[in-house]
Chain A
Amino acid sequence: MVGIGYRKEFSKEFLYDHKIHPDFVEVAPENWLGVGGYWKQEFKKVREKYPLFLHGLSLSIGSPEGVDIDFVKKIKAFIEETGAVLYSEHLSFSKVDNAHLYDLLPIPFTQDAIDRVVENILIVQDLLGRRLILENASYYTLLKQEISEPEFINEIVRRSDCEMLLDVNNVYVNSFNHHYDAKEFISKMPLERVKYIHIAGHFKVNEHLIIDTHGAEIIDPVYDLLDFTLQKLQREVPILLERDFNIPELEVLESEMTQLRNIQNKVLNPMIV
């Protein structure tokens, strides 16, 4: 299964021109919660046509002040109302000092942070009545680092019993920015817990920094990393193509999705391809 992030920017073409054929769509619940009128109608049409995956932005699982219970309840109601297949979020924080910051900020890789994140995840899972699926975040710097990123992620997954969204582009971006081996990193992930994969393009600022923009086409090394990941997984996991900025013609996105399906087929059905 290969899906795409549904964007208001291409809604009309997406719904009526049949230029793109995803197996599912993903949206951020924060953009649709409590929305009526025109967009409610369009969103209903999208849901009638495609299975819906939700990928949240504002849960802020790494917030030192804990998670917002009322917000989690709203998310739960939205999952039920929309019949979403899956709800995932980010292993990051976006709210601190009682202020939302509307970006995915890296949680310090410390034992204190792990304790807090695990506590937050357990609360959310209890309220939702399902396991959280958390995405490995991209980061350009860290506030503190006592342990490695794989140790950080593995301990959180193990102690909270949550699941994982493996963002292959984030692994690539982090490996470039922080000089590590992306394949070795993926090998250290709790792969049996991976339920969902994200892939996207990015922006290379200079020789030392890549920013995870979701604003360009996927580059070959990231496709290679997906291939490697699927080889390790040896099972079908839904893959999402993220494209949030500089959105090209839908045919370009369709062609990227075809490439993703080809990689998936090659790995999972090698005799057929």
Chain B
Amino acid sequence: MNAILNPTEKSQIHFGQYIRSGKNPPKTTVSDNTHHYRELVYSVIMDTMSNAYPILKNFLNAKEWENAVQYFFENHKSQTEQIWKLPFEFYEFYLENPFPTKKIIPFLNELMYFEWLEIEVFMMEDLEFLPFSEKGNPKTDVLIPNPEIKILPLQYPIHNKATKKITEKDKGQYFVSLHRDYYDKQVKFNELSLPFVEMLVLLNEQETTFIDLYPILKKYESDSEKISEQILEFIRFALENNLILGYKKTRN
């Protein structure tokens, strides 16, 4: 943009800065009405963030939440044309900037990303589904995964424990998957063990059958019978929860 601004451009920039900060209102033709623009825009931003981050909002008190939204809006230049994507910029902003509350929230980033992913997985563009059959042989057929999935490693159990009750004692290793159900297109959550995560990752990386999963569980279990049982248990769980859609269609 040209560095030499005309008075019209200067006034528009001043107006934008006022709307974002609520400070230093510009002189306008009906000064009594200038504040309506700040209020209208701010309420849209506040509603968008409140709808996107209900758990975080509930965890904070009203003032802390308002400060968090206002600090973001004032200090971040929103880049997306699609307002439903703005909560991701909120998350990214607070990865880089201190969250404006006195209390330290060790699981803040994890919680924000978890809440954002629910929106992202629900709204994301459709991915390609390989043709599959619901019937097949779990021990021999190629397993077809649901590609519309995100797996989130966590240090705190934000997915299954009230945030206000989470303490340092809860710190550990958790995995949660968020996927879009193939049939009803709603987002579903599953808590997963590390071996289950590894198997899901493999399924999404390459054509996988029962036997390909064996080396993963071999790291955790030496009894081959138990390994087979656990793989079958994983396949049953994944089919039941729509993490695996079915079996590769064989040509007749």
Interface residues of A (CB under 8 A from B): 30-31, 33-41, 57-58, 62-66, 68, 71, 93, 96-103, 105, 107-108, 110, 112-113, 116, 140-145, 177-178, 208-209, 211
Bitwise interface map of B from 24 to 50 toward A, beta carbon under 8 Å scored 1, else 0: 001011111110110011001100000
Contact with A along B1-39 (1 / 0, CB 8 A): 100011111011111110110000010111111101100
Q: Would you list the 4 A-B pairs with minimal beta carbon distance, nearest first?
A: A38-B185, A99-B77, A96-B16, A58-B81
Q: How far is the CB of A148 from chain B (nearest CB, A)?
A: 12
Q: How many angstroms between the C-alpha atoms of A116 and B10 in the bound complex?
A: 13
Partner of B36, one of A40, A107, A116, A140: A140
Choose one: A64, A143, A144; the contact of B1 (CB below 8 Å): A64
| Interchain residue pairs with CB less than 8 A apart (22) | A30-B81, A36-B126, A38-B185, A57-B81, A58-B82, A71-B81, A93-B12, A96-B16, A97-B17, A99-B76, A102-B44, A102-B86, A103-B40, A105-B19, A105-B37, A107-B12, A112-B6, A113-B8, A116-B8, A116-B9, A209-B33, A211-B40
A residues within 8 A CB of B180? 37
A21 to chain B, nearest CB (A): 27
- Chain A proximity of B52: nearest CB distance (Å): 14
Of B5, B36, B184, the most chain A CB neighbours within 10 A belong to B36
Given contacts A141-B31, A143-B26, are A33 and B82 in contact (CB under 8 A)? yes
Known contacts A93-B12, A108-B8, A110-B8; is-contact A102 B1 (Cβ 8 Å): no
| Docked complex Cα distance between A36 and B8 (Å) | 40
* Interface members, chain B 175-197 (any A CB < 8 Å): 180, 184-186
User: Hey, which chain A residues are within 8 Å of B82, CB to CB?
Assistant: 30-31, 33-34, 58
Q: Is the CB of A142 within 8 A of B12?
A: no
**Binding stretch for chain A, among B60-68, B91-99, B104-112, B117-125:** B117-125
| Contact (Cβ within 8 A) B16 A99 | yes
Q: Which residues of B contact A108 (CB under 8 A)?
A: 8, 11-12
- Decide if B58 is an interface residue (CB 8 Å cutoff): no
Among B30, B45, B184, the residue within 8 A (CB) of A141 is: B30
Question: Which B residues are CB-close (under 8 A) to A209?
Answer: 33, 36
Chain B min CB distance to A89 (Å): 12
Supply 18 further A-B pairs (C-beta < 8 A) apart from A100-B78, A100-B81, A101-B16. A34-B82, A37-B123, A38-B184, A38-B186, A66-B1, A68-B81, A93-B12, A96-B15, A99-B16, A99-B77, A100-B80, A103-B37, A112-B6, A141-B33, A142-B29, A144-B11, A177-B30, A178-B30
Contact B79 A96 (CB under 8 A): no
Could you say which residues of chain B place their CB within 8 Å of the CB of A66? Answer: 1
User: By the criterion CB–CB under 8 Å, are A37 and B30 in contact?
Assistant: no
B20 to chain A, nearest CB (A): 7
CB distance from A242 to the nearest CB of B (A): 16
Which residues of A lie under 8 Å from residue B13 when comparing CB positions?
A: 64, 96-97
Given the complex, which residues of A lie within 8 Å of B33, measured CB to CB?
Answer: 140-141, 177, 209
